[in-house]
Amino acid sequence: MTTESLIEMELRHAKERAELVEKIRQDAYTAGLHDRMKPGSVATPSSLMEQVTETVAMAHKVLPSELRGPSRFDHFKIPRRKIWAELHGRGYSLEQIGQHFGRHHTTILSGIQKHKAELEAS
């Protein structure tokens, strides 16, 4: 019988938790439980901001609410910046975008600049 060290056990549990969270997130997304609809609305997003957010979220397999949320995980940065650049290119002000995403307009500006730099680098 082999015994598992405390560190190995913690790593295994962390991996299991991460897999479970990912499965729950994917199940919620595919079941349509994400925030695409609001009470009393039709089955489509009500504004261009929501439409762009929804499209990019689907392409990156994340929830729109995750992109608007406070999380700083790396896998949200690229889609957020992409959305911000797209909306700014369509004429939305930094303040409008910031208000929709719950961020300061300077954060939006910085994200757009980083997105452009990433595009130029690739």
pLDDT in tens, 21-41: 888 777 766 655 444 444 433
CATH of 34-121, one of 1.10.10.10, 3.40.980.10, 3.10.20.310, 1.10.1750.10: 1.10.1750.10
pLDDT tens-digit series, residues 76-118: 999 999 999 999 999 999 999 999 899 999 999 999 999 999 9
Write the DSSP assignment of 33-87 as a string of letters.
Answer: -STT--TT--SS-SSHHHHHHHHHHHHHT--HHHHHSS---HHHHHHHHHHHHHH
Q: What pLDDT score was predicted for residue 6?
A: 86
pLDDT tens-digit series, residues 37-67: 444 334 444 588 999 999 999 999 999 988 9
pTM of the full predicted structure?
A: 0.63
Break the chain into its structural domains and give their ranges.
34-121
Confidence of residue 14 (pLDDT cuts 50, 70, 90): confident
